[in-house]
Chain A
């Protein structure tokens, strides 16, 4: 991704306003896109209604952070330099997360200091109660002594080394997440919590540098206070201008906290936020509308699922937080909301895709600074000091201490219902329903039964019958590939990889052991069929089965 840094980007926000600026950063953790020297070209007729069009401005905004999920389109134009000007008023666009002077780069390719970060950080430290409800409950901290009672609320500093050495006895009890994260849509996601915590880490990091100069140990309960004195943001608290949206938008972690954790853990924060949200409520603010009504309507169910633990997890936070913002132009029809839904997903996906390719550096940056209180980072020797070294962005899959309860898990799955479902859907040729016998041969297992009495029933002749044919007709790779259609997603293709990464994140908390760049272009499934002669020599890694 870094290769795009510095190139000139044309970006269309959800409000149809086109911005052109120099790409400063794409922060996948927060799913934000930061542009420097941004020019707004207005809606350029995209809204279709002259009355609603927003005209272009000549102003150049020094630095704008866009919410990734509110970015409709993003194109790279040729790099170009533009004269600098003082930024006047920023258009009223909920997609704008923040508009300030360009912050200094902390790490190479640095994270833009997010306001929420300073906000959260002190809170993080000062409010012990909040720790529980916070990014993730502390039981989940991998380095946490596994025997300790949950909830002691200490973050053992620098446990990360140990973390990998010890069996990951994450003490996160299964029901915990449910209690702690009152997620709207989906069932509680992986008991990992990084989806929420990780971005927080990212934001908790800058303060160590950022707070100092600012000298304002802000509290989460006064986010507005700190939003306003932003250096370059037009500070006029006029209802129609920035402050309101920017408060809402610039505080994704806060809002996340509200949604996810604070209700239980830090109730005192809620009023503050509500108050904050209420203040601009008379205006069209993302904050008020988004938080109240629309969030649940948005595709939380699917979005977090896709994004949960690691790489794409970044996008989750903004999604929840931003859905509000996205829906800012509030009186939308249901259809529109659906559109938004799809688009948000799409963008979240885009951002997450972006992320996989450039995440390492950032992840390193995050890890490097947050290690003090977040031991979850992988203490592999891959972290070679530098920020950009191939940090493995791995989050521990937290294993509940107790045994997996097979019985209750299996109780959720009824094979008889499955048979009905199959017959109903007729996806699979409906066959004689299997004889389900409950006894299992003690020594010879299942096979005996099949032989004993159910052979004819269990073995539909359609697939294999020794009497009928030497050959079988069971599903197999040869058949699948012979029947594969052109439109099918090829194994190893981009889409396949994307889905696999998502699944990996769900299963393991990370998309691949090394950030996912390794296998690209190595000739997956598709490469096998062609050029079998040429491909055989010396390409040990490439050749052979794509398994």
Chain B
């Protein structure tokens, strides 16, 4: 009895120690890279100043957040009042947390109703956003569910039998669920649209409008994007009530992203890319093509050139897309070739180079593409391969964005995009225990023979090198050189993989990351070695959550 009392007393005193709770948090290594004023020009608020729950603050700090970014600083207090919000901020400056934090704050864990819907235009973005919700809301005891097309509807229906406080998803599936009465938004006070202008494209708008009919009239609607074209204004006028406008974009482009063009003939593009690979110090890169066919073709060529890459586009099966996304985020592969599917919202901090293998047709696409590098005010490089036909687009986009794309110089200053301590670059947060379990279960049902399909590693070559005869997609990098450096994530720590360091030879204009001695032909980047593969044959390790589509 007395012991119990003592314990109770002890507990009381612990929770009463205000100063200590923060010190005991396990925040990831601090990201020490310099940042631009895109994220540093704040009023100086702290998260503690925002009047949010202790548990939420814990999640925020454990996720490695330090201080609110400008958009978070501006948005969170207003959002907590329940007012409609129209917010505009540059790519990668913290919009997601700016709406997730107030949503988490306002959710009542004791209610079993769905209390916030977060709509996003792509499935990958849904996964990413739900992951942020889960990470930040880790200590809140709430249930976040992600649901997208391309997955079984039945599973989603079953999951919705439980209390789901925050639902994240893509419009079509959400509308399906709402239409079936499975998802109940009748008392859902928060409706959030991320990449709102994309969600207001002609094919999505009718869905959104139908969906809004399921919501109470006095809901809070919040729209976020870096681009708000005039054509979507009518939607705001119709569905938002005196929205509070937050616009933090003095100009459109990110300050940390240096943009270059390389003038090429179409047939020289692959050669040009090859040279870029050899000369740039790519931590991770995203390479954009203008069609799905070209994504696959380029991925194939890159593989033939001896570099590894993933590719992703909308015509792939969803579980393949998820795997690619998950693995690339975790730094399994250095290069990702993709279509405009991943143009928006995708946040991979380790990406320091974006290459427009095909120049985009409009300024909006261009802006979002190059915004895949230079995340959260960091530095990055955008390189555009321009052919003769692209020249008017180049001019147009420069004009419209008010930016200048310069010819690629013989020497690209490393300071513009290379970091000395990449090991502190944040990685996606590790999944929770429940997610791990779920991921494991999912893996068992995952067809193993599909695991290679979109991981365009040079398998043959690999096989050639390692002579294991296995064509499995290798998970563990034998040679750290090839592994991108997204940082010392918990997983790599656990596996004892040291943060790779790249020697930069002094010779040559461009630093050649691949000139190290372990290079087989002094040209080809080192490959993964199958023999060092310790994980599951499908490439996942047990402790690393697979892409959990509807993980909760």
Please give the residue numbers on chain A whose beta carbons come within 8 Å of chain B beta carbons, in ascending order: 146, 161-162, 164-169, 189-192, 308, 379, 394, 396-397, 399-400, 403-404, 406-407, 409-410, 412-413, 415, 418-419, 421-422, 427-428, 431, 434, 436-437, 440, 442-451, 455, 458-460, 463-464, 466, 469-482, 500-501, 503-504, 506-508, 510-513, 516, 519, 522, 528-529, 532-533, 535-538, 540-541, 543-547
Contact = CB atoms under 8 A, between A and B. Distances in A.
A512 B297 contact: yes
Nearest to A463: B400
28 contacts: A165-B458, A308-B267, A397-B270, A399-B305, A403-B275, A406-B410, A434-B404, A437-B404, A443-B34, A443-B379, A443-B416, A445-B259, A446-B405, A458-B403, A463-B401, A464-B249, A464-B402, A471-B230, A474-B401, A478-B200, A482-B231, A500-B291, A508-B298, A529-B202, A536-B175, A544-B123, A545-B122, A545-B340
A469 B362 CA distance: 20
A541 B317 contact: yes
Given A166-B306, A410-B408, A543 B149 contact: yes
A244 B202 CA distance: 62
Interface stretch (B61-69, B158-166, B387-395, B426-434): B387-395
B293 interface: yes
Given A410-B408, A474-B252, A507-B267, A403 B202 contact: no
A506 B266 contact: yes
A446 B315 CA distance: 35
Interface in B169-189: 170, 172-173, 175-176, 179
B442 interface: no
Given A508-B294, A508-B301, 20 more contacts: A161-B460, A167-B305, A167-B523, A396-B304, A404-B272, A406-B272, A428-B392, A428-B396, A440-B258, A446-B405, A455-B251, A455-B402, A463-B400, A466-B250, A471-B233, A474-B363, A475-B362, A476-B365, A543-B172, A546-B292
Most A C-beta atoms less than 10 A away, residue of B36, B292, B402, B458: B402
Contacts of B416: 442-443, 445
B256 A444 contact: yes
Contact of A476 (B206, B227, B341): B227
B201 interface: yes
Nearest to B38: A447
Most A C-beta atoms less than 10 A away, residue of B362, B367, B463: B362
Given A404-B272, A529-B202, A471 B229 contact: yes
Nearest to B205: A478
A448 B255 contact: yes
Given A166-B461, A450-B404, A537-B153, A546 B314 contact: yes
B214 interface: no
B232 interface: yes
Contacts of A396: 304
B84 interface: no
B398 interface: yes
A512 B293 contact: yes
B229 A532 contact: no
A458 B413 contact: no
B50 interface: no
A434 B398 contact: yes
Contacts of B315: 519, 522, 541
A510 B86 CA distance: 46
Interface of B: 34, 36, 86, 88, 121-123, 149-151, 153, 170, 172-173, 175-176, 179, 197, 200-203, 206-207, 227-233, 245, 247, 249-259, 261-264, 266-272, 274-276, 278-279, 291-294, 296-298, 300-301, 304-307, 313-318, 339-341, 343, 361-365, 367, 379, 386, 388, 391-392, 394-410, 413, 415-416, 458, 460-461, 463-464, 521, 523-524
Nearest to B299: A513
Contacts of A190: 267
A403 B272 CA distance: 8
A446 B252 contact: no
Contact of B314 (A447, A535, A545): A545
B230 A532 contact: no
A532 B306 contact: no
A164 B460 contact: yes
Contacts of B298: 507-508
A510 B300 CA distance: 11
Contacts of B314: 544-547
Nearest to B306: A167
A479 B291 CA distance: 20
Contacts of A412: 263
Nearest to A447: B255
B416 to A, nearest CB: 6
Contacts of B230: 469, 471-473
Most B C-beta atoms less than 10 A away, residue of A162, A169, A394, A546: A546
A445 B379 contact: yes
Contacts of B362: 474-477, 479-480
B256 A481 contact: no
Contacts of A519: 292-293, 315
A503 B227 CA distance: 30
Given A440-B406, A446-B406, A474 B364 contact: yes
Given A404-B268, A480-B362, A528-B203, A422 B392 contact: yes
A507 B265 CA distance: 9
A394 B300 CA distance: 10
Contacts of A308: 267
Contact of B296 (A192, A379, A512): A512
B407 A445 contact: no
Nearest to A544: B314
Nearest to B396: A428
Given A167-B521, A471-B228, A547 B292 contact: yes
B251 A450 contact: yes
B258 A470 contact: no
A59 B396 CA distance: 63
A478 B293 contact: no
B71 to A, nearest CB: 14
